[in-house]
Amino acid sequence: MTEKPKIALYWCSSCGGCEESVIDLAEDLLTVAAAVDIVFWPVALDFKYKDVVAMNDGEITATLINGAIRTGEQEHMAKIMRKKSKLLIAHGSCAHLGGVVGLANFYQREDLLSRLYQEVPTTNNPQGILPQHETIESGRKIKLPDIHDTVKALDQVVEVDYYIPGCPPTPELIKEAMMMVLENRLPPRGTVLAGKKALCDTCPRIDSKPDKLRIKKFKRIYETEWDPEKCFLDEGIICLGPATRGGCNARCINANMPCRGCFGPTDNVRDQGAKSSSFLASIIDVTDKEALKKTADSIPDPGGLFYRYGLASSILKGKLTPKSS
């Protein structure tokens, strides 16, 4: 009997949703599982780090890593998995672009730590202790993974062969990616394994999207009721479909929610946030300075909205702050 291809799954800074998306393969998971040997999957199966470390370089056919890189341990594991795998696949928005956790790059690490461990009202930490990389407890040194200054996408620490986008990716895309690996029909290295065009192109509401959109005020969804058949933008609700890669089956739109951009930019866009802010600007129907400012102010957190999934891999990558010496 020939050996089955070996597959590994690993998680870094993630919420667990991408792991769940693998489980969402449902019966298909059994088909995939029967065709491969899962050699490492800490969240679901009991393997040890040393099992992977003991493997030969390139022994694993493909590893799917989800989650962004924000600790030393995650970077270390990403490097090990890279070495042991023929193909390394970034699984989900966080590994692909930095994801929601990448929004931390709008703040400094110290501010985040003090906020979380000292200031949040529900925190009970009278001594104000912050997590330390190293500490001495009863004469023994204890180490925790170090937390990096910035959150990074997977390809900012190791070479990545393919990307499965989405927060989380759809089971269909994961299955298709696995089949591409197993049937040896992968596209050129570096490809994002999803749609090529913007989401609008495959949106069920595209027919109601006017050629010339004109908006005076952006409405938030709690401020308005909208026609569930019509293009969100035409209703004055921000939808990032025009600046987002398609391939998600328009699942948010089908759930009557506007797109928030989790599939990242299309191939010819470098910075999804910049593109989103430009296309929204272009549909504003006022040019008078005061009115324009009011319209712009009707987007409360533009950075957080336009860069919700891609701040870490954007042009500026996060807040520009003086380097601490």
Partner 1 sequence: MIGFEPKIIGFLCNWCSYEGADAAGRARKAYPAGLRVVRVMCSGRVDSQFILEAFKEGADGVMILGCHPGDCHYKEGNLQMLKRYVILKRVLSQFGIEEDRLKLDWISAGEGDKFVKIVCEMTERMRQLGPLPR
Write out the residues near ligand SF4 by the rule CB under 6 A: 167, 199-200, 203, 205-206, 209, 231-233, 239, 241-242, 244, 248, 250-253, 258-263
- Looking at the Cβ atoms of 41 and 107, the one nearer to partner 1 is 107
Tell me how crowded residue 184 is: count the other CB atoms within 10 A of its CB. 7
> In angstroms, what is the minimal distance from the CB of 318 to partner 1?
7
Q: Of 41-49, 183-191, 249-257, 317-325, which part binds partner 1 (CB under 8 A)?
A: 317-325
Contact pick of 237, 271, 309, 313 for partner 1 (by CB under 8 A): 271
Which residue from 144, 157, 146, 131 is spatially nearest to 68, judged by alpha carbons?
157
Q: Of 81-89, 124-132, 231-239, 292-300, which part binds partner 1 (CB under 8 A)?
A: 292-300
- Looking at the Cβ atoms of 22 and 312, the one nearer to partner 1 is 312
Q: Which two tokens stand for residue 63?
A: 């590893």
Q: Are 223 and 172 in contact (CB under 8 A)?
A: no
- Looking at the Cβ atoms of 134 and 288, the one nearer to partner 1 is 288
3-state helix, strand, coil in the chain (%, to 5): 35, 15, 45
- Of the CA atoms within 13 Å of residue 256, those in its CB half-sphere come to 6
Q: Of 69-77, 85-93, 148-156, 276-284, which part binds partner 1 (CB under 8 A)?
A: 276-284
Distance between CA atoms of residues 323 and 171, nearest Å: 41
DSSP assignment of 24-63, as one string? Answer: TTTHHHHHHHHHSEEEE-TTTS---HHHHHTSPTT-EEEE
Distance between CA atoms of residues 261 and 240, nearest Å: 6
220 interacts with partner 1 by CB under 8 A: no
Distance between CA atoms of residues 263 and 276, nearest Å: 13
Distance between CA atoms of residues 91 and 85, nearest Å: 15
- Looking at the Cβ atoms of 140 and 323, the one nearer to partner 1 is 323
- Of the CA atoms within 13 Å of residue 147, those in its CB half-sphere come to 13
Interacting residues with partner 1 between 80 and 119 (CB under 8 A): 106
Q: Of 111-119, 154-162, 166-174, 293-301, which part binds partner 1 (CB under 8 A)?
A: 293-301
Number of residues that bind partner 1 (CB under 8 A): 33
Alpha-helical runs (H) found in the chain: 17-23, 27-35, 49-53, 72-84, 93-97, 109-114, 171-182, 251-254, 272-282, 289-297, 302-306
> In angstroms, what is the minimal distance from the CB of 296 to partner 1?
5
Residue 232 interacting entry, from partner 1, ligand SF4, none, C-beta within 5 to 8 Å by type: ligand SF4
Residue 233 interacting entry, from partner 1, ligand SF4, none, C-beta within 5 to 8 Å by type: ligand SF4
Strand 162-164 vs strand 147-152: parallel, antiparallel, or unpaired?
A: unpaired
Contact pick of 306, 308, 309, 310 for partner 1 (by CB under 8 A): 306
Q: Which two tokens stand for residue 293?
A: 């400012």
72 interacts with partner 1 by CB under 8 A: no
Residue 320 interacting entry, from partner 1, ligand SF4, none, C-beta within 5 to 8 Å by type: partner 1
270 interacts with partner 1 by CB under 8 A: yes
Residues that bind partner 1 (CB under 8 A): 106, 269-271, 273-275, 277-278, 280-282, 284, 287, 292-293, 296-297, 299, 301-304, 306, 314-316, 318-323
